[in-house]
Amino acid sequence: MNKTIIIIHEIYGITENLLLLKEKFEMRGFSVIMPSLYKDNYQGVNEQDSYNRFYSEVGIEKGYRIIDSLIAENSDTEIYLIGFSVGAAIAWLHSTNNAIKSVIGIYGSRIRDYLDLKPAVDTYLYFCEEKTFDIKSVINELKNKDKVKISLLSGNHGFYNSSDETDKILKRFVEEEMFRILK
């Protein structure tokens, strides 16, 4: 069966780093779908502007429906979801769907709004230290759930789009983890 990865971006839209990740997966033989949740393929750089735009134009629920349609369209393949930040929250919401093989969420801080979910598929969550809330309490809520594997990384939210050398090391680690999971 063919393997399809659906990559769900964060508030900034499809960034250069995500395009490079898509290419890495394609070079390994995966079919990759990376939709823009924005109608105009917005690519932001300013955090506050991107945050405002995401929640005024898209939001978690609309993002969920967009990805749900893609899952249905690709139901004849083995589907994996990879989400970043709000994209991780959207992927998390789909973890109850048995049509998905597994979910990988990278710094999905908004998962904290959906802690009652009970995943039906293997779900790998990579959290970072957060400045605006206590991530450890979220992890404590999630750690005993079936099918959920959690890692707390020593990095900042958004590290995947950073050019900082420490963040690049963390990015490589997470990519290796994704490749291992999807092997």
Tokens of 177: 């983890």
| Residue-range definition of the domain harbouring residue 100 | 3-182
Q: How many CB atoms lie within 10 A of CB 56?
A: 8
Query: Are 93 and 114 within 8 A, CB to CB?
Result: yes
CATH number reported for the structural domain that contains residue 166 in this entry = 3.40.50.1820
Give the least confident one: 37-46, 141-150, 156-165.
Answer: 156-165
Query: Are 97 and 119 within 8 A, CB to CB?
Result: no
The Cα 148–Cα 83 span in angstroms is 15
Q: Express each pLDDT in 32-87 by its tens digit.
A: 999 999 999 999 999 999 999 999 999 999 999 999 999 999 999 999 999 999 99
Residue found by looking up tokens 């789909």 in the block: 94
99 pLDDT higher than 90: yes
Q: What is the pLDDT of residue 132?
A: 87
**Structural domain count of the chain:** 1
Q: What does the DSSP assignment read for 105-170?
A: EES-GGGGGGTT---SSEEEEEEEE-SSS-HHHHHHHHTTSTTEEEEEEEEETTGGG---HHHHHH
Residue 13 three-state SS: strand
